[in-house]
Amino acid sequence: MKKLFLLVALACIAALPSEAKNPKQPKVNNIIYMIGDGMGLTHVSMLELENKYAPTSFDRADNIALTRTYSANNRVTDSAASGTALATGYKTNNGWLGMTPDGTAVESIIAKAEKQNFATGLVATYAIQHATPAAFYAHVKSRGDYANITKQFMESNIDLALGGGYKHFDDVFKAQGKNYVEELTNKGYKVCKTWDEISKQTSGQVFGLLHGDNMPAVEKRQPGFLADATAKALEILTNNVKSEKRKGFVLMVEGSQIDGRSHSKDVSGILAEMRDFDKAIKVAMDYADNHPGTLVVVVADHETGGLSIPSNKTDFTLPESGIGYNFGTGSHTAALIPVYLYGTGAEQVNGIMENTDLSWKLQQLLGVGEK
């Protein structure tokens, strides 16, 4: 009798529609990929502590996972190798961009999305030729090869770039006896040299690099640039999707200078950059609230500084012992990195995973790639 019951149960399961056996994954049309360069869990803890536990954008996450960050040739990654992993789904050697260790060029989620009729964009507070943003379009064996990285940007079809790095375009085209503004204009970009010019753009291809190389630190750059640039990028990409009948968009936003301030062990600087990044995350999450089908992914390429937050005293019977911010190194670490997910599909990313697996999962959710 028991065997008969099991057979009947199995037959009933087999008769279920495939959708019932394999629930359909939510449709993700837009991904906002937010990368805090050098941002570990303790950096987020610092933000929480210094905000006196008032809610931050990180608290809004629908789901949290963890990633391993080692590169193909080192247990401690650099931004080029980890950026490549997050962008393409492949591990590579430290210092390499968009290539596997055997020299094979691999496409990023942005490159694949472009080919499949998605709008794409990059926002950073460093030069867009810097390791993390460059991982989304370049294929070089040296992250310092800014000339070839710049040329490869010109070969891409990225809709929008906001940040720093125009000097490298100027250098490349001057060497050819050409003007970089004319070349970009011929490629279809509206070239903006001030924030006022950027703010007037509502659609189309927009090139808004406001500094020759990296932008200044948050205390010296235009107030609120990262949040404002994120909002402007979302406006432009949304309008491009509507007017050009695109499937959706992929936007990469980098809080670039958390890393540099961590290398310098600059506590107040780290906090200022974290607060700036937090504001940009809020813009992205607010957008997801009003645009179903949008997934916000907040992650780091690696942790920088070996930051810890110890008590100032060992007597825990005191009502307040005080805290300090200590650094174990002026370099990167091999620590696991948290992933904060918000919006459509957030529940699909779980557990401890390779940083490459995070990339493949996002490509799968967007429908542009399978591992």
Catalytic residues: 79
Residues near 221 by beta carbon (within 8 Å), at least 6 away in sequence: 125, 215
How far apart are the C-alpha atoms of 191 and 198, rounded to whole Å? 9
Residues near 109 by beta carbon (within 8 Å), at least 6 away in sequence: 31, 33, 87, 88, 89, 136, 250, 359, 362, 363, 366, 368, 369
Coil, helix or strand at residue 240: helix
Task: Please report, to the nearest 10 degrees, the dihedral formed by the alpha carbons of residues 339, 38, 208, 120 taken in order.
Answer: -30
DSSP letter at 105 equals B
Neighbours of 72 (CB within 10 A): 17
How far apart are the C-alpha atoms of 334 and 74, rounded to whole Å? 10
Which residue in this structure is represented by tokens 């933000």?
A: 47
Give CA separation, 247 vs 154, 342, 370, in Å.
Answer: 23, 20, 18
DSSP letter at 60 equals G
Which residue in this structure is represented by tokens 């596997």?
A: 100
Query: In which element (H, E) is residue 340 found?
Result: strand 337-343
How far apart are the C-alpha atoms of 265 and 186, rounded to whole Å? 44
How far apart are the C-alpha atoms of 224 and 268, rounded to whole Å? 17
Residues near 342 by beta carbon (within 8 Å), at least 6 away in sequence: 60, 61, 62, 284, 285, 288, 295, 296, 298
- In the Cβ-directed half-sphere of 218, how many Cα atoms lie within 13 Å? 25
Cα 281 from chain centroid (whole Å): 11
